[in-house]
Amino acid sequence: MVFLASPPSPVFPIAALATAALLTACGGGNATSSPAQDPPPARPIDLEVGGSAVVKVRAGPQGLTVMEETPLRIGEPGPQRTLAMLDAAGTRIGAYSAPAGTSLIDFARHPSGETTVVLATARTVTLARLDGSGAEIDETPLADPLAATDPYYDAGGVKDDGSMVPVLTRDASSVAPLGEDVAVALRTGRNAVVAYRFRHQRPQGYALAWRTLVEPGLSIFAVGITSGTFDTYGQLENHWHVHLDADAAGNIAIGVVSRIVTAPVFAAHADHFAEPIAAQNGLLVTRLDADGRRLGATAVDTVQTGELHGLRLAGDDVALVGRVFSERRPDGGGWNAYAAHVDRASGALRSYRTVDVDAGEILFDIQPLPANRFLVAGAAGYVENPDGASISETAAPFLAVLEADGTLRQRLAFSAGARQNPIRTLEPHGASWLVGGMTNGPGTHSGDGDRSLIRADGYAREIAVPSS
């Protein structure tokens, strides 16, 4: 059962280069060379991670940054995430873990090969700069005196005016690269959504370029379950999450969830910005330019309760993916994945379509393909208590190609392991794709009697995707 709760206070070796051997004829003569040989082809990247899921991969010419997440019981402090730094051949060259008492929330990889990480405690947010091996270069606390005075729509929930983090979760920040700068979007202690641009300077660290209020503060209520020990798809906190992406030109897109009872973002937005919204449940996508000016917001009406798990900005397309409780079915298959597309320039909703292939479905990431198609990743074949939030122990990986309007064109074969098998992240890598996720993940009740069953085995694999 689901209940609403009033929140409490609170490796591959680098290929060797072939060399030409000089041979001298017996008794003298001219030196000759053997035919030149091409180096052997590079092996595809195949990273295996025991005990943790791979939830995000970003690649550049110098290598990869991989975020790994250790599954935790409901109520355990977290999230517990670390970074693995790989060179271009897929060899681990370093790692990064958050300081004690701090959680790594998100990261952005820059063209230089450096990485920005967002760190959170129960009340603070800090930006840290890492070199290519994961060593810290500098760090800067994200202090915002305006956060305590942002508009707040009070419906009886708790807030913390002096905090840069919501009262009930640290996992409410997102970061994206703007060249060597970064865009950051987060929820404050008043549950307002605020966006920033920071410029990185040496040796000072990060300097604020601008601040924009994206959504006013409001009461957001906790969601709990009456039994179970693991939040399989992060659904108990999804309505706090903030999703962000940016492009090289400085365009920014930010997405959040609105729910009529637990997170009435539509109502607060409509009143504060004088932009009426008829929908009650759905997604709200805000577009900013490189100087932080609001270009407009688009409401995506999901009708029923929905979750947002991925947002990608590519050209004039803002793509969003997640899942929606489409139908209450006794067999537990009423959750469907969805894909939505918003025009970055005009804000028009291009399409919104559910994806229904096998019992329950969820999408975590989406990337553009040629011919105006999209590669999507998630899980399918799971079931969930139609009257609650208990998700089955088993689910199949879901990798597919969608048409521009969200129509399923082709489901791609992908090897599965035991238990939960979601694919969490997609990243282009030359002519191939990096696919990250996990096998042997837990369902809601896997660890009820044995904490050791709340575990997963992660991977990041390089694969080819059919071009047509």
Query: What local confidence, expressed as pLDDT, does residue 35 receive?
Result: 55
Taking the mean position of all CA atoms in its chain, how far away is CA 347? 22
Backbone angles phi and psi of 187, in degrees to 5: -100, 135
Instruction: Report the C-alpha gap between 377 and 365 in whole angstroms.
Output: 5
Instruction: Report the C-alpha gap between 369 and 366 in whole angstroms.
Output: 10
Residue 172 makes CB contacts below 8 A (sequence gap 6+) with 105, 120, 165, 166, 186, 187, 240, 241, 242
Q: What is the model's pTM?
A: 0.91
Q: Per the domain annotation, does 38 fall within a domain?
A: no
Hey, what amino acid is at 274?
A
Q: Per the domain annotation, does 414 fall within a domain?
A: yes
Pairing of strands 136-141, 152-153: unpaired
Q: Per the domain annotation, does 332 fall within a domain?
A: yes
Q: Per the domain annotation, does 412 fall within a domain?
A: yes
Q: What is the pLDDT along the chain (468 residues), one digit of tens a residue?
A: 444 443 333 332 323 323 222 222 333 333 444 556 655 567 899 999 999 999 999 999 999 999 999 999 999 999 999 999 999 999 999 999 999 999 999 999 999 999 999 999 999 999 999 999 999 999 999 999 999 999 999 999 999 999 999 999 999 999 999 999 999 999 999 999 999 999 999 888 999 999 999 999 999 999 999 999 999 999 999 999 999 999 999 999 999 999 999 999 999 999 999 999 999 999 999 999 999 999 999 999 999 999 999 999 999 999 999 999 999 999 999 999 999 999 999 999 999 999 999 999 999 999 999 999 999 999 999 999 999 999 999 999 999 999 999 999 999 999 999 999 999 999 999 999 999 999 999 999 999 999 999 999 999 999 999 876
Q: Angle at CA 193, nearest 5°, toward 352 and 326?
A: 30
Q: What is the CATH number of the domain that holds 55?
A: 2.130.10.10
Query: What local confidence, expressed as pLDDT, does residue 42 receive?
Result: 74
The count of domains in the chain is: 1
Q: Per the domain annotation, does 350 fall within a domain?
A: yes
Q: Per the domain annotation, does 321 fall within a domain?
A: yes
Q: Per the domain annotation, does 186 fall within a domain?
A: yes
Answer for the pair 276, 237: CB distance below 8 angstroms, yes or no.
no
Residue 190 sits in which domain range? 2-11+43-463
Query: What local confidence, expressed as pLDDT, does residue 467 receive?
Result: 73
Q: Is the dihedral of CA 286, 124, 234, 85 positive or negative?
A: positive
Query: What local confidence, expressed as pLDDT, does residue 420 receive?
Result: 98
> What 3-state class would DSSP assign to 160?
coil
Instruction: Report the C-alpha gap between 53 and 151 in whole angstroms.
Output: 38
Q: Per the domain annotation, does 16 fall within a domain?
A: no
CA quadruple 60, 66, 67, 69: dihedral, nearest 10: 160
Instruction: Report the C-alpha gap between 431 and 61 in whole angstroms.
Output: 13
